[in-house]
Amino acid sequence: MNATLRFPLLLLLLLPGLWFTLRTSYRWGIPSSRPSGRAQRWSARWLPAVILALLVLAAAGPERRIPLKGRAPVVDFALVLDGSSSMKALDDGRESRWNAARRLILRFIAGRPNDRFALIQFSAHPVTLSPLTADHARLWTLLDHLQIESPDDGTAIGSALMTAVRRLQDSPARSRVILLLTDGAQNRGRVQPLEAAQEARDRGIKVYTVALGNAGEALYPLDGGGFAWLKVATDPDTLHRIAQATGGEAFLANDPVGLARSLAAISRLETTALPVDQPTEGRPMARWVLLAAGLLALPLALDLGRKRGRRPPAWLTQP
Amino acid sequence: MTPLPFSHPLLLWPTAALVLLTLALGLRAQLAPGLGVRTVGQRPLLQGLGLALVLLGAGLGLAEPRWGAASAPRLTVHVVLDGSRSMLVPDCAGVSRWRAATDTLGRLWSRPNPEVRFSLQLLTGDAVPVLPPGEDQPLLRDTLKVMEPGAIGSPGSAFGYALAQAVAMAEPRDPAILLLLSDGEETVQPRAEAAQRAVAALRAAQLPLYAIAYGQPVAQPVPAPNGTELISTAQPEFLEDLARRSGGRLLRPGEDLAALLQSLARGREPMPLARSLSPAHPEWGAWLALAGLALWLLAAGKPMRSWRPVLGLALGLGLAHPARALPLPASVQAWAAQTALARGNLEAARRWRPAPDQPSHRLLAAQIELRARAFQPALDLLAPLTGQGAPRPRAGERAAALLMAARALVELNQPEAARTMLQRLLLEQPGQPEATHDLQTLLKDPLPPPPGPQRPPPPRPDQGARQDELEGLRQHLQGKPRPLGGVKDL
């Protein structure tokens, strides 16, 4: 939290104000020639001074500056997630690639609270599920409920990459990054992966690729129940060339642990030491100070009720 | 929406009661003051007036009066597009209601809408979320192309249920509105019941509804693929009622939607307080209370008679114009502006901006303008430091001025002029790392043309990707569950 004052020079009023206040010898009720008690003297001297100090502080406009998320993004990510049916495979025998990828992406997003993310799911066709957003809570909900939808199964890596490029091309962020997670080789789509990589490179967008799964056979759940060992064609070489062409890095993740390591490495690579001017918005903090000043002023106000003199005796007023 | 521009208007009532009580006590004491009161020079009426001002100021400040333009303009527009089959009726100047609505959105999303985010939902028998909030307008335009009325979601139009669902997707205190494009024909619930449900949800979320009505309020046949005969009657007055009761309004046909959204984003149009961007000013209450305290002190005894005029003048100056009007040296103003800028308080930085008499103050003023995205004023300020004439400013100031001017020119979409600035800097001060970096990164050089005869360019990969994405989007939207329900389309 960054606290500041809207009108800091008003604090200069404090010195002459306190001087004036402390020189004022207030007397509670109807002053008399008898010496008043210690508490009365002390409160009559210091209460107005405290009220004045509180009011001057409130008048200077204390506020806390809240950074506005997503207004000056440092890194904009497009997360491109393979949603083909092969992602149901269980590499470690416990968790499917799909669930591991979603879980670890959630962790990746949580580790980068100031960045924006777009989410693209693809199988035979890419779908933008979320444009670039700094609203991570919404993104988490979306990822949490995301399912493999493959009415038309396949792997269109090129089209998905190109879609990610289109999502990022107008971004004003300092760094624009595509994070591609796939376990297959291109077998659908109108765009070749290297064509898309070239477009990304021309627009200054980096691509990190993560090849999921083993090169050999993997355990797949069957629709009717049970499991089967199946082999899926993978193409780590193309993924490596995509990353190389755009200045990114290619990672191999044989299991969820490997994927976690890859994402952590990407997170480390995409850091910046340069300062960022995050726009902020002021939220006033004067209310508590004003409340205290108002409450302290109440005894002074009620003391006015004790200033009225007694009615003089009849023998004094009558002739 | 409250008629008073206060964050907590209810606090004004106890404040008024306390103020009246204090005035009454002061007046009562003034009518028959005690002997000692007169002896020590206390004047109860003035004391009462002063304390009433203190309490009034504290109460006003606690209620937080709000006015002024937003310091960080922004708005989220939750677009709710009627996707029921009745939108196919061609009664909008020869085109269907759906076509007219999508054309309106297409026009809106073809213009720049800075600081405005859009989400898209379809209104059918329930709300179908299509896209979460974002600034990606090409994506929104593409999404419109793959949607067709009656194909997605539940049959019919349930305003009560669907608007309540749409409201639930809005962030609680985000500056946001709901933009509804519809024919206003409710088919699932009685209209009064639907309106009640929708308005209750909108009011609870303090989300104003702005609506655009399509279609004529006369019975029209709905084009149906299977030959069934359906009749639809547009109900613009229903939409008007919903919009008015939620704090929004029915927009006129042809009204400049983009301008309206900009006004809302910048706080020029009123918004419900929970979502308003108008800044709160509790310090005004404190200033009033300070004046009251000064009055009370003057009437509380007889201290410092000789000092009173001077202190009164100083206090008056401070209250009338909070410190800005004081004749401060430019260096102090520059320090205050620099401090505010370092803290990210752009509003204060602009307030303290020093007069550009010295080069360093001119640079600071230009930096503030740049941060405020006022690029042309920044360029105007920098002009004396970036020109070719003599005398030249010092090297450090010259370099900073040229770099800032280059940045402003890039933002103003003048890359050639920006390149000239950076090249000038590199010529004068070779090896300037920041200029080299900016030249390499800010200005993206086009690739050199390939040698040999020019051939027509092949189809760009993004066209193929766009077709693939549209197909994917179509499959994705049609994959949404389509539960039974509704009345009209069954």
C-beta of residue B119 within 8 angstroms of C-beta of residue B77: yes
Residue from B74, B293, B347 to probe the interface with A (highest A Cβ count within 10 Å): B293
Residue of A nearest to B445 (CA): A202
**List of residues 6+ apart from B398 with CB closer than 8 A:** B385, B386, B392, B425, B428, B429
Judged by CB atoms closer than 8 Å, whether chains meet at A287 and B323 is answered as no
Nearest-Cα distance to chain A for B221, in Å, is 35
Tokens of A14: 């404090």
Question: What's the CA gap between B79 and A99, in Å, rounded?
Answer: 32
Interface check A72 vs B, CB under 8 A: no
Nearest-Cα distance to chain A for B143, in Å, is 10
Helix-, strand-, coil-residue percentages of chain A, each rounded to 5: 45, 20, 35
Task: Please give the share of chain A, as a percent, with pLDDT higher than 70.
Answer: 95
Contacts of B467 in chain A (CB under 8 A): 190
Q: Which of residues 263-292 of A touch B (CB under 8 A)?
A: 277-282, 284, 286-287, 289-291
Nearest-Cα distance to chain A for B191, in Å, is 32
Contacts of A138 in chain B (CB under 8 A): 132-133
Beta bridge partners of A179: A79, A208
**List of residues 6+ apart from B15 with CB closer than 8 A:** B55, B56, B58, B59, B60, B62, B63
Neighbours of A167 (CB within 10 A): 29
C-beta of residue B92 within 8 angstroms of C-beta of residue B215: yes
Q: Identify the band that residue B308 occupies on the pLDDT scale cut at 50, 70 and 90.
A: low
Closest CA to B276 of B10, B72, B60: B72
Interface check A41 vs B, CB under 8 A: no
- Average pLDDT over chain A, rounded to an integer: 86
Q: What is B330-441's CATH topology?
A: 1.25.40
Nearest-Cα distance to chain A for B33, in Å, is 4
Say if residue B134's pLDDT is above 80: yes
Q: Identify the band that residue B386 occupies on the pLDDT scale cut at 50, 70 and 90.
A: confident
Pick from B51, B293, B300: which is nearest to A55 by CB?
Answer: B293
The residue that leads in pLDDT, B186 or B19, is B19
Q: What is the residue extent of each domain of chain A?
A: 2-29+37-66+279-308, 75-269
Residue of A nearest to B136 (CA): A131
Task: Please give the share of chain B, as a percent, with pLDDT higher than 90.
Answer: 38
Pick from B29, B40, B344: which is nearest to A304 by CB?
Answer: B29
Interface check A1 vs B, CB under 8 A: no
Judged by CB atoms closer than 8 Å, whether chains meet at B61 and A290 is answered as yes
Max avg pLDDT among B54-58, B215-219, B352-356 = B54-58
Interface check B369 vs A, CB under 8 A: no
Beta bridge partners of B6: B65
Question: What's the CA gap between A210 and A104, in Å, rounded?
Answer: 12
Per-residue pLDDT at B117: 94
Pick from A26, A199, A309: which is nearest to B300 by CB?
Answer: A26
Contacts of A311 in chain B (CB under 8 A): 32
Q: Identify the band that residue B1 occupies on the pLDDT scale cut at 50, 70 and 90.
A: very low
Q: What is the mean pLDDT of residues B20-44?
A: 90
C-beta of residue A125 within 8 angstroms of C-beta of residue A149: no
Question: Phi and psi of B252, rounded to 5°?
Answer: -75, 150
Judged by CB atoms closer than 8 Å, whether chains meet at A282 and B59 is answered as no
Q: What is the mean pLDDT of residues B446-460?
A: 57
Distances in Å between the Cα of B281 and the Cα atoms of A250, B16, B349, B414 are 53, 19, 18, 40
C-beta of residue B73 within 8 angstroms of C-beta of residue B265: yes
Interface check B304 vs A, CB under 8 A: yes
* ipTM, 2 dp: 0.81
Q: What is the residue extent of each domain of chain B?
A: 9-66+281-320, 75-275, 330-441
Question: What's the CA gap between A237 and B94, in Å, rounded?
Answer: 56
Instruction: Return the number of CB contacts < 8 Å for A and B.
Output: 304
Judged by CB atoms closer than 8 Å, whether chains meet at B461 and A17 is answered as no
Per-residue pLDDT at B261: 95
What would the pLDDT profile of B89-130 be if each residue is shown by its tens digit?
988 888 999 999 999 999 999 999 988 999 999 998 888 899
C-beta of residue A135 within 8 angstroms of C-beta of residue A115: no
Residue type present at position A27: R
Q: What is A75-269's CATH topology?
A: Rossmann fold (3.40.50)
Distance of CA B75 to the CA centre of its chain: 5
Per-residue pLDDT at A274: 52
Question: What's the CA gap between B333 and B368, in Å, rounded?
Answer: 13
- Average pLDDT over chain B, rounded to an integer: 84
Judged by CB atoms closer than 8 Å, whether chains meet at A293 and B315 is answered as no
Q: What is B75-275's CATH topology?
A: Rossmann fold (3.40.50)
The residue that leads in pLDDT, A172 or B458, is A172
Say if residue B2's pLDDT is above 50: no
Say if residue B3's pLDDT is above 60: no
Per-residue pLDDT at B490: 34
Judged by CB atoms closer than 8 Å, whether chains meet at A290 and B282 is answered as yes
Q: Which of residues 125-144 of B touch A (CB under 8 A)?
A: 131-136, 138-139
Lowest mean pLDDT segment, chosen from A190-204, A270-284, B78-92, B112-126: A270-284
Burial of B441 (0-12, 13-18, 19+ CB in 10 A): exposed
Pick from B33, B348, B467: which is nearest to A308 by CB?
Answer: B33
Contacts of B132 in chain A (CB under 8 A): 130-131, 133, 135, 138, 142
